[in-house]
Amino acid sequence: MQKSVYICQNCAWEGSKWHGKCPQCQAWNSVTEELKPVLSSAKRPHFFVSDSDKKPHPFSQIIKQDKKSFPSGLKEFDRVLGAGFVPGAFILLGGSPGVGKSTLLLQVCGHVSQTKKVLYISAEESPSQSALRASRLNIDRPELLFFSANSLEDILFQAEKIKPDLLILDSIQTVYLKSLSSAPGTVAQVRECAGLLMNFAKSSSITVVIVGHVTKDGSLAGPRVLEHLVDTVLSIEGESESQCRVLRSSKNRFGPNNEIALFEMNEEGLREITNPSEFFLSERLQDPIGSVIFPAIEGSRPLLCEIQALVTSSYLPMPRRACVGLDINRVHLVGAVLDKYIQIDLGKKDLSVNLVGGLKITEPAGDLAIAVAILSSRFKAPIDSKSCFFSEIGLTGELRSCRFALERVQEAEKLGFKQVYLPKSLESFFKKKRVKIKLNFKSHIEEFKF
């Protein structure tokens, strides 16, 4: 027996009637009708019977199986995973179309297939299309097997027959179960397919990596239960106009969260950026106006990035504000503080702030760098190219301490910078540290008048 239910394809809300706007996530035109089997009360068992011989045991009696992880062949990829691929892990990789998801995974397959058996399944491309990409990446190994299918039953049949060490599925939104009447990509299909793949990964100790699509706002498409099922959630980000790609982990049961890896897209695929600070500063001018270096922290990695600001006269009743790579709300906050305590008259100026290189940073430690870049552009004062700035700015103009101060200073020192401007509240902390770089401790934004 089956009944019709209405399910939101965005948040998996379920109801008995159709809505043009989802009552839970407020998304328009996301509710679709699906058939759901119903178990009548007469057939519903009052108790459960199991033929399994499994029993609960205390941790002291459980034999720990040593499942050694194996590397992906890309050090930056392993940095995000924690220690490479763990047998039995279930990994989700998301990203916008054309950002490089398939290219990255195919490169990983090429490295892993040198020592392990790999099965790459494409539910979106034909064998000839995938072969062209593999040829462009110079990947041709007998241990790397390719299979094109959309039916999950066929995919799991081949996986159980081949028993690979690594299984790649591209993508979860295009596969389907024959036993379900709903279309591929619907909540029911994605949820059931992901559940079967998770059980397969855990029971067979095969590492499974699935590719997921993203919505217009950049979040992973499909029900949120998909992110709860997997062990690791990775996302690859990057602008189409930029060659830089950022691989980020938002969930990881086997390693650190919010860790990032950087790649450069070129004709031969994705190239690892082992020194991101040097990469982002390679084209910087000497003693520029409106350009400031900020030692940011992404995950556990410090990297130096360039923040640029441009202040120009406005001929509009309401001056324009443009911001790329930074939180526009923090830029408004910093501008208001500068107007209050240094009187730079931003109310009649157009303001543009840019984080060079295609990165996106939201941490408040960049407030001071934004402020100094705005002041430099406003008064046409050059900034020493060997200086770094980091501090959070309060609404009363005070400079506040921020996390990972020592790591930021050490990264600036390693790249050959001469001095760092930071909040005075960290002075006692650095008295016990041995750093060769000059430290300039400031307590208020008024101390940066040009």
Question: ω before 171 within 30° of 0 (cis)?
Answer: yes
What CA–CA distance (Å, rounded) separates 272 from 125? Answer: 26
Compute CA distances 256 → 63, 80, 246, 296, 424, whole Å.
Answer: 26, 7, 16, 18, 31
pLDDT at 43: 53
Which pTM was predicted? Answer: 0.80
| Cβ atoms of residues 359 and 246 within 8 Å | yes
Reading the block at residue 441, the tokens are 């401790």
pLDDT at 282: 81
With CA atoms as reference, report the closest residue to 96 among 250, 240, 197: 240
Compute CA distances 235 → 54, 64, 122, 213, 450, whole Å.
Answer: 37, 31, 19, 10, 42
pLDDT at 37: 60
pLDDT at 258: 83
| Cβ atoms of residues 112 and 70 within 8 Å | yes
What CA–CA distance (Å, rounded) separates 244 from 241? Answer: 9
Blockwise average pLDDT, block size 10, the chain, 450 residues: 76 85 85 69 57 74 69 92 91 89 93 94 87 87 90 94 94 89 83 92 94 71 72 87 86 87 88 87 86 90 93 91 94 95 90 90 94 95 94 96 93 93 94 90 90
* 57 three-state secondary structure: coil
pLDDT at 423: 96
Contacts of 179 (CB under 8 A, 6+ apart): none
Q: Which helix (H) or strand (E) holds 108?
A: helix 101-112
pLDDT at 222: 57
pLDDT at 400: 95
pLDDT at 65: 55
